[in-house]
């Protein structure tokens, strides 16, 4: 499967995935909740790449999804393969904002754009904490070409 | 099951639903995509109440979800019953914004707030159209107490 | 919501749940995988009732789903409320077989029958073990009227 | 991604798919209902290959899932890629039985085996019908090497 597309030029993390037939709902297109599943898969790949999953394993400092949104641009259908891009949009002390983009290969176009805010949380102390330095560096490195 | 809660005072459409065990993910709480499933169930109940489902049956003018977002406030766990409120937040010519709120009965608190923008679409003409007059009246009637 | 139905006379554990609109697939009826979600919710309620969930908390002896099946009898549609019955069908040394039945209230009929085999597993020893005595007694008590 | 595996030697239709992180449940492994989603994706690919999807488009004779089962052999985890094999197991007048097998590439082993019975249904006449001749030939051609 292709793993790049011009519409994802600014996205350093790209995750390909096929559309499952059963992800379509009674309107005959992929259900809106599935777009957030695709975002989530891209988010996990991103958290792995920026070192956040490793931070949880070593320090029990994990990522909490604070909020997320999606702007639907094209309906998706089976069969198709989509590419889901993820990149850093904004970073502050205890959180950062990710940008997501879903590209349909069958339609050769952007199916959705979205964002998600991820907050650092210390599961031993049960409180929000600043992003660990290594994670922060990793997140900054994934801002993507368009942001640099 | 209780079908009202003080936190839903301004929501004219309230849909109760139980949390399924299998809606929890590997973090041990209800997966973020399921919140959008709850929103969707509330949206369908709302679209039924305001006459939008009937409009599709008579004129093939249907509702398209343009965009949606969720602000997560409390993690949800099985077992629990949630109430999902829906109300009109804003209305313009060819679209309206709905507000959603999920209340956890087990935790007696707001688990999430969100919005969704719904656009009117003529499936015979394949184009966006103004909200049918009856739908518009129905949507305005569901603004909720807080908006009146 | 009604929580009993003649077709569930032999089922000691009955779990009511509403059909979500988004559980329907592109064929316009509830997707087959959702029937197994309904079975699962009933299974968890059953495992709670027979003491298996408590056994895991005290002894780390948990339930593993060995196999499951479903015979579809009626398509399900939104809106509807279903009742899902669970009962013990057969018990042996290290496992037992549960029976499930989904009843549609809107259609007043049986939508599906199924079974699931649950095996006892010691998560400290990482091996299958006999059913704990208290769990075995609880499982036997949930055989349902038809089996007695 | 690899698209063949020795354990799938007898399966003429093989569909690769990645495991989504969010498909794992609170036990930390892929939820049992997702195995049926994987089966379904393989079934649709199979129905396409044997001409059953085309039969619906031309004659409104479609495939109904009569029953299905799964024997779980290995828990699945993210990250992983699975291959899902599908083949014909048995054919009779108005139905056929498919066999499914899920192979985990990360674990290099069989994660599950299952079957599904598919019945031919005439949506214009609203009744079960014999398998169309072209579909029957297609189904027989997908019996797989082991059956021949």
Instruction: Kindly write down the DSSP assignment for every residue of D78-100, as one continuous string.
Output: SS-EEEEEEEEEEE-SSEEEEEE
Inspect the interface and report whether the beta carbons of D20 and A17 lie closer than 8 Å. yes
Tokens 């169309």, residue located: D132
User: Measured between CB atoms, does A77 come within 8 Å of chain B?
Assistant: no
Q: What is the pLDDT of residue C145?
A: 59
Residues of A in contact with B70 (CB under 8 A): 67-69
Tell which wins on pLDDT, C133 or C55: C133
Q: In terms of Cα–Cα distance, which of D142, D43, D145, D61 is closest to D102?
A: D43
Q: Which two tokens stand for residue D25?
A: 């449940």
Q: What is the DSSP string of A55-104?
A: HHHHH-EEEEEEEEEEEE-S---SS-EEEEEEEEEEE-SSEEEEEEEEEE
Strand partners, A79: none
Each residue's pLDDT tens digit, B23-67? 999 999 999 999 999 999 999 999 999 999 988 888 899 999 999
Establish whether this prediction's ipTM goes over 0.85.
yes
Q: Which of D21, D35, D68, D82 to mutate to test the interface with A (most CBs of A within 10 A)?
A: D21
Exposed, middle or buried: residue A52 (CB in 10 Å: 0-12, 13-18, 19+)?
Answer: buried
d(CA D38, CA D14): 11
Q: How confident is the model at residue B147 (pLDDT cuts 50, 70, 90)?
A: very low
Find tokens 């070593």 and name the residue: A58
Structural element, H or E, at residue A46: helix A32-49
- φ, ψ of residue C137 in degrees (nearest 5): -65, -40
A21 touches C at CB < 8 Å: yes
Q: How far is the C-alpha of A76 from the C-alpha of A24, rounded, in Å? A: 8
Q: Quick one: which of B86, B82, B68 has its CA closest to B29?
A: B82
Question: How far B79 CA lies from chain D's nearest CA (Å)?
Answer: 13
Q: How many other CB atoms are there within 10 angstroms of residue A124's CB atom?
A: 9
Q: Per-residue pLDDT for A120 more than 50?
A: yes
The answer to whether A69 faces chain B, any CB pair under 8 Å, is: yes
CA distance B32 to D81: 23
Q: Which residue of D has its CA nearest to A37?
A: D22
Cis ω for the linkage preceding A82 (within 30 of 0): no
Quote the mean pLDDT of chain A. 94
Which of A31, A114, A22 minimizes the C-alpha distance to A76?
A31
Buried residues in C71-103 as b, exposed as e (16+ CB within 10 A): ebeebbbbeeebbbbbbbbeeeeebbbbbbbbb
Cβ–Cβ < 8 Å for B97, B90: yes
- Chain D partners within 8 Å of A37 (Cβ): 20, 22
pLDDT value for A146? 53
Beta B95-104 vs B61-72: how paired, if at all? Answer: unpaired
At residue D145, the pLDDT reads: 59
Weakest-pLDDT range from B123-127, B143-147, C89-93, C140-144: B143-147
Give the pLDDT confidence of C109-132 residue by residue, as tens digits. Answer: 999 999 999 999 998 999 999 999
Handedness of CA B67, B71, B75, B79 (dihedral sign): negative
Q: Which residue of B has its CA nearest to D33?
A: B22
Distance from CA of B142 to the nearest CA of A (A): 23
Say if residue A90's pLDDT is above 90: yes
Q: Which of A34-43, B133-142, C136-145 is least confident?
A: C136-145
Q: By the CB < 8 Å criterion, does C66 face chain D? A: yes
Phi, psi (rounded to 5 degrees) for D12: -75, -20
Hey, is C75 helix, strand or coil? coil
CB contact under 8 A, D26 and B31: no
State the pLDDT at residue B117. Answer: 98
Q: Are B12 and B20 in contact (CB under 8 A)?
A: no
C23 CA to centre of own chain: 19
The pLDDT value recorded for residue B145 is 59
Write out the H or E segment, with its range, that includes residue D145. Answer: none
Residues of B within 8 A of C1 (CB-CB) are: 1
Among B19, B20, B26, most D C-beta atoms within 10 A, so best to mutate, is: B26
Q: How far is the alpha carbon of D18 from chain A, nearest alpha carbon, in Å?
A: 7
Q: Would you call B22 an interface residue with chain D, using a CB distance cutoff of 8 Å?
A: yes
**Alpha carbons A30 and C131: distance in angstroms, whole number:** 43
Average pLDDT over residues A74-92: 97
Distance from C-alpha of C35 to C-alpha of C47, rounded to nearest angstrom: 18
DSSP B58: H
pLDDT at B126 over 70: yes
Work out how many CB contacts closer than 8 A connect B with D: 22
- Show me where the domains of chain D are located: 10-143
Cis peptide before B28 (omega within 30 of 0): no
C9-143: CATH topology: Thiol Ester Dehydrase; Chain A (3.10.129)
Q: Which of C37, C64, C68 lies nearest to residue D70, judging by beta carbons?
A: C68
- From chain C, the residues in CB contact with D30 under 8 A are none
The domain at B12-143 falls in which architecture?
A: Roll (3.10)
Q: What percent of chain D has pLDDT over 90?
A: 87
Contact (Cβ atoms closer than 8 angstroms) between residue B88 and residue B96: yes
Chain B contacts of A72, Cβ < 8 Å? 64-67
Using CB atoms, pick whichever of A21, A33, A78 lies closest to residue C22.
A33
Q: Report, at the CATH architecture level, how domain A10-147 is classified.
A: Roll (3.10)
Q: Are C115 and C126 in contact (CB under 8 A)?
A: no
Place of tokens 């991604």: D1
Least confident of A7-21, A127-141, B52-66: B52-66
Residue B129 confidence (pLDDT) above 90: yes
Query: Tokens representing C30?
Result: 């509830």
Whether D23 and D69 have beta carbons less than 8 Å apart is answered as no
Query: Tens digit of pLDDT for each residue in A15-52?
Result: 999 999 999 999 999 999 999 999 999 999 999 999 99
List of chains touching D (3+ CB pairs within 8 A): A, B, C
Contact D22 B24 (CB under 8 A): no
Beta strands B127-128 and B95-104: pairing type? unpaired
| Residue in the block written with tokens 């197991």 | D89
DSSP class of residue A130 equals P
In this model, does residue C35 exceed pLDDT 70?
yes
pLDDT over 60 (residue C148): no
pLDDT-based confidence at residue D2 (cuts at 50, 70, 90): confident
Q: Which of D32, D40, D66 sits opposite C72 (nearest CB)?
A: D66
Rounded distance between C-alpha atoms, residue D69 and residue D92, angstroms: 19
C41-85 pLDDT per residue, tens = 999 999 999 999 988 888 899 999 999 999 999 999 999 999 999
The whole-chain average pLDDT of chain C stands at 94
pLDDT reported for residue A145: 59
Q: Is residue D75 over pLDDT 90?
A: yes
State which residue of chain C sits closest to A21, comparing Cα positions: C26
**Among A46-55, B84-93, D111-120, which stretch is predicted with the lowest mean pLDDT?**
A46-55
**Partners of D95 in beta bridges:** D119
The beta-carbon neighbor of D40 closest among C32, C40, C69 is C32
- Residue B137 phi/psi, 5-degree rounding, is -65, -40
User: What does CATH list as the number for D10-143?
Assistant: 3.10.129.10
List, in order, residues 6 or more apart from B141 with CB less than 8 Å away. Answer: B12, B50
Cα dihedral B53, C24, B31, D17, rounded to 10, equals -130
Q: Which of residues 125-144 of B touch A (CB under 8 A)?
A: none
């Amino acid at each position: 499967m292709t793993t790049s597309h011009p519409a994802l030029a600014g996205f350093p993390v790209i995750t390909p995935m096929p559309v499952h037939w059963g992800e379509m709902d009674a309107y005959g297109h992929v259900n809106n909740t599935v777009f957030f599943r695709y975002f989530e898969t891209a988010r996990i790949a991103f958290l792995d790449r920026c070192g956040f999953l490793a931070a949880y394993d070593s320090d029990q400092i994990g990522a909490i999804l604070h909020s997320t949104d999606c702007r639907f641009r094209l309906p998706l259908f089976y069969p198709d393969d989509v590419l889901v891009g993820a990149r850093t949009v904004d970073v502050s002390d205890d959180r950062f904002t990710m940008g997501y983009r879903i590209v349909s290969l069958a339609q050769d176009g952007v199916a959705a754009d979205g964002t998600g805010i991820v907050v650092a949380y210390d599961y031993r102390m049960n409180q929000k904490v600043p992003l660990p330095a290594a994670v922060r560096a990793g997140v900054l490195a994934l801002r993507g070409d368009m942001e640099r």
